[in-house]
Amino acid sequence: MNLPNILTLSRLIISPVFMALLLVDNVYSRLGALALFILASITDLLDGYLARKNGQQTDFGKFMDPVADKFLIALALISFVALKSASTWMVMVIIGREFLIMGLRTLVAYRREVMESSFLAKIKTFSQMTAVFAILLHICLNDCVDAGLISISWQFLADLKFSFDALLFLAMLLTLLSGVDYVIKNRWLILGLFKDNM
């Protein structure tokens, strides 16, 4: 087990802890969730960089890195819906696409092949991470204002909320586009799955 793979697996461990802290109605707990999300995002940057730099790219890492990303994003978005901080339908579209592609990747991996991530998929992941960070920051700012830790006008927070909703909508569009891109670029692998089962 090399360091990049350990960093990837650490994201899977961090994710449920992050969700648990986020769902606790306490400003310090949610600030802790924000810190954990930043830490998880850093591991996402480091694992790929170190794997490429040190020649430690593995099929396991190629498969698990996007799985860890999807797990973190899915738990964050589900938490946002529970906290009424994100639109349910947008979250359903994003998570639905992610699990569909993850299912295809798993079936392909069963055949000892790997569906490579595309550049558009990397942009999609970045947009999702950015949207999650923005919504999480908005939740923390609201809690800090409620707790009297900072002073920000409610109008400013409302304006931020509108902007962050737009970020989530953009992430949803990129998620759908990258899903179509995945299917097109890996169509022969996917068609092979259906042929094997006929």
CATH code of residue 162: 1.20.120
Residues 40, 157 contacting (CB under 8 angstroms): no
Residue 60's closest CA among 100, 118, 8, 137? 8
pTM: 0.88
* Structural domain for 146, as ranges: 3-196
If one compares 83 and 189, the residue with the highest pLDDT of the two is 83
Tens digits of per-residue pLDDT, 29-51? 999 999 999 999 999 889 988 98
- Number of independent structural domains in the chain: 1
Q: Which residues contact 174 (CB under 8 A, 6 or more apart)?
A: 120, 123, 124, 127, 128
Q: How far apart are alpha carbons 55 and 71 in whole angstroms?
A: 26
pLDDT at 28 over 70: yes
